Structures are given as structure tokens and as C-alpha cells.
Chain A
Amino acid sequence: GENVEQHPSTLSVQEGDSAVIKCTYSDSASNYFPWYKQELGKRPQLIIDIRSNVGEKKDQRIAVTLNKTAKHFSLHITETQPEDSAVYFCAASISGTYKYIFGTGTRLKVLA
């Protein structure tokens, strides 16, 4: 069935270092991959997304890469700051639906 695996489940980095979170999806029909950030007690918010016709997308300190052949996509955060501390979720979906299959989340802690 449809599945998204996300690793690691927790990640601690020193402020200023980079953080990488990896996801693998199972449904080869998936073609839209959003990443959401959820701070404690708050709603998930989209931070970046990528479509299957693009291999990489960057927005300031955040970048996402997609390898369709391997069904892998990754989130890269550079120059991490304490406010980056949150739970990050990857998701995969098929164009034309909002049936997101989410990964189980990564709790990122940025140590000052």
C-alpha cells in the first residue's frame, strides 16, 4: 500500500550546522511532495514543496531534492537557528488529490 518512510525520527544539531531529513515513498504515481513544519501546539505549515518534474528546489536556507528513480526526497536546512526547532513532516501525493501520505515526522532540535 501507500507508505512514506521518514528518517531520522529525532535530530539534534548545533546552531549554524546543517540538518538533513530523508523520506522514501512507495507509490510511483506520487508527483507532489510537500514538507510541513509543526511547532509545539501549532498547526502544520508548509515550508517548501517539490513537483516530480523538478529535481531540486531552494528557498533561502531550505532546499529539497527529489530522486524519482529511487523514490527518495530530502529536506536540507542550512545555517540552522533555534527557531528551526520543530517537528518536520514529509508527504507524498498524487496530482489532483489532497490525499497526503505523511511520514512519521522528525523532531529537530537546534542547540544554541
Chain B
Amino acid sequence: KAGVTQTPRYLIKTRGQQVTLSCSPISGHRSVSWYQQTPGQGLQFLFEYFSETQRNKGNFPGRFSGRQFSNSRSEMNVSTLELGDSALYLCASSPSRGMTEAFFGQGTRLTVV
């Protein structure tokens, strides 16, 4: 069974640009959540999607957005990139919205220069 796949693995962008990150959940999983990981702030919750609907949103500015498609794949977009957006972006998938394990992908390392 394939794990959670995130693409691309690495990205370098310039301030002011926008970026789109992709997450393919484990087959059959309908819930996808996104996290930002930085050395100083740890893992911070961005959004949670279930059945193409955003169910929860973290405390990030409106420049951070996301969506989920009918096949459960999810994308997140960051517009007007800032240096502080440099981080590892992780997505996690789970079969339902109950108390079950969330499986993480390898992450996309975004560097903003």
C-alpha cells in the first residue's frame, strides 16, 4: 500500500511569488490535513479537509489556502511568499475523522529567497 505522497520534495522560490504543493493521500483515505514545520515553531496546523470540504483552519494568514479534490488529493497554495514561509510542509491522511492514526508524508521543503 503506497504511503502519503507529497510533491515536489524541494522548492526554491523568490519573495512575492506563489507556490502550490500537492498531497496524494493513502488510497481510501478521505481526510487530509496540512502542517508547517519550522525549527522555532515546531509543527503548526494549517488546514484539515474531509470530503472536499475544509473542516478546520489554523491561525495562518489568508495567503495560505488549500483545497481537496473528489479523489481526496489535496493542494495547498501560498501566495505572495515571504522569507518566513520557508519551512517543511507536511500533509497527513487518515481514513476518517475519528480518533485514528494520521499518516504523514515526507513533506515538501520550501525555501524562499
**Chain A contacts to B: CB under 8 angstroms:** 1, 31-32, 34, 36, 42-46, 49, 51, 89, 91, 93, 95-105
Q: Contact: B42 with A98, CB < 8 Å?
A: no
Q: Contact: A97 with B58, CB < 8 Å?
A: no
Q: Contact: B106 with A42, CB < 8 Å?
A: yes
Q: Contact: B105 with A102, CB < 8 Å?
A: no
Q: Contact: A103 with B33, CB < 8 Å?
A: no
Cα–Cα distance between A48 and B92 once the two chains are bound (Å): 16
Q: Which A residues are in CB contact (< 8 Å) with B103?
A: 46
Task: List the B residue with the shortest CB-CB distance to A31.
Answer: B99
Q: Which A residues are in CB contact (< 8 Å) with B33?
A: 98-100
Q: A97-B56, A100-B33, A102-B43 are in contact. Are A43 and B48 (CB under 8 A)?
A: no
Task: List the B residue with the shortest CB-CB distance to A4.
Answer: B42
Q: Which B residues are in CB contact (< 8 Å) with A49?
A: 99, 101
B: contact size bracket: 20 to 34
Task: List the A residue with the shortest CB-CB distance to B50.
Answer: A98
Q: Contact: B102 with A89, CB < 8 Å?
A: no
Cα–Cα distance between A32 and B45 once the two chains are bound (Å): 16
Cα–Cα distance between A96 and B55 once the two chains are bound (Å): 10
A-B contact pairs, 25 of them (CB 8 A): A1-B59, A31-B99, A34-B101, A43-B4, A44-B43, A45-B104, A46-B101, A46-B103, A49-B99, A95-B98, A95-B99, A97-B48, A97-B56, A99-B45, A99-B48, A100-B33, A100-B35, A100-B45, A101-B45, A102-B42, A102-B43, A102-B45, A104-B41, A105-B42, A105-B43
